[in-house]
């Protein structure tokens, strides 16, 4: 039997993977993937809890997140392509212009 806990654990695991991805990845494209994982981890959580409480609000929210994630990726990829055309690299460390 798959209970709510299973979903939430899955969601937490995905979230942690995404978080590690954000921390470790130097490639901007990979960073986007990691961000998507974070958002979708949350989506799983929303959908599961929504089902558990029989309340549609959580699922509604998941839809919103999917829509926003899509638009974010669209804008982000557009910027990424332009950046790549200009600089020829999407490594995060090469983007640094200040020195602290």
Partner 1 sequence: MEKYLYLALFSPLVGSLFAAIFGAQPKKLITGIVASALLFVSLFSSLYLLGYVTSTGNSIHVKLFDWISVGGLNIPFGFVVDQVSVIMMVTVTTVSALVHVYSIGYMKYDEGFNRFFSYLSAFVFSMMILVMSDNFAGLFIGWEGVGLCSWLLVGFWYKKPDVTRDINPSISPSWAANEAFIMNRIADLGMLIGIFLIYWNTGSLQYNVVFKDVSALNIGLVSLIGIFLFIGAMGKSAQFPLHTWLADAMEGPTPVSALIHAATMVTAGVYLVIRANPIYSSIPDVGLLIATIGAFVAVFAASMALVNQDLKRIIAYSTLSQLGYMFVAAGLGAYWIALFHLMTHAFFKALLFLGAGNVMHAMDDELNIFKMGGLAKTMKWTAIMMIIASLALAGIYPFAGFFSKDKILEVAFDSEHYLLWFMLWLGAGMTAFYSFRLVMLVFFGEERYKKYGFHPHEAYWYMLLAMLPLAILAIISGFFEESFEHFVTMLLPEYHFHVHGITVVALIGITTLIALSGIGLAVYKYSRGGFSEKWKDTFVYKLLINQYYIPIIYEKFFSKPYAELSRIAWKELDLRVVDATVDFIANVIYKTGFKGRVVQSGNLSKMLKWMVIGLITLLVLAIVYSPVR
Question: Which residue ranges make up the site for partner 1 (CB under 8 A)?
Answer: 19, 22-23, 25-26, 31, 92-93, 95-100
Candidates 59, 20, 11, 60; CA nearest to 39 is 11
What does the alpha-carbon distance between residue 20 and residue 4 come to, in Å, rounded to a whole number? 24
Residue 54 DSSP one-character state: T
Instruction: State which residue, 56 or 87, has the beta carbon closest to partner 1.
Output: 87
CB 42 within 8 A of CB 59: no
CB of residue 57 to partner 1, shortest distance in Å: 22
CB of 22 to partner 1, least distance (A): 5
Q: Which is nearer to partner 1, 31 or 62 (CB)?
A: 31
What's the closest the beta carbon of residue 1 comes to partner 1, in angstroms? 28
Distance CA 8, CA 14 (A): 10
21's tokens: 């991805």
In angstroms, give the least distance from the CB of 23 to partner 1.
6
Please say which residue, 85 or 99, places its beta carbon nearer to partner 1: 99
Q: Which pair of structure tokens corresponds to residue 18?
A: 């995404």
Q: Which is nearer to partner 1, 25 or 51 (CB)?
A: 25
């Amino acid at each position: 039997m798959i209970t709510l806990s299973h979903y939430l654990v899955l969601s937490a695991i995905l979230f942690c993977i995404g978080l590690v991805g954000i921390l470790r990845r130097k490639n901007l494209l990979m960073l986007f993937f990691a961000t998507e994982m974070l958002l979708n981890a949350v989506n799983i959580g929303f959908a599961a809890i929504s089902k558990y409480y029989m309340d549609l609000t959580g699922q509604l929210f998941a839809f919103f997140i999917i829509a926003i994630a899509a638009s974010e990726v669209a804008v982000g990829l557009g910027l990424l392509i332009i950046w790549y055309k200009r600089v020829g690299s999407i490594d995060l460390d090469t983007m640094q212009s200040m020195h602290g």
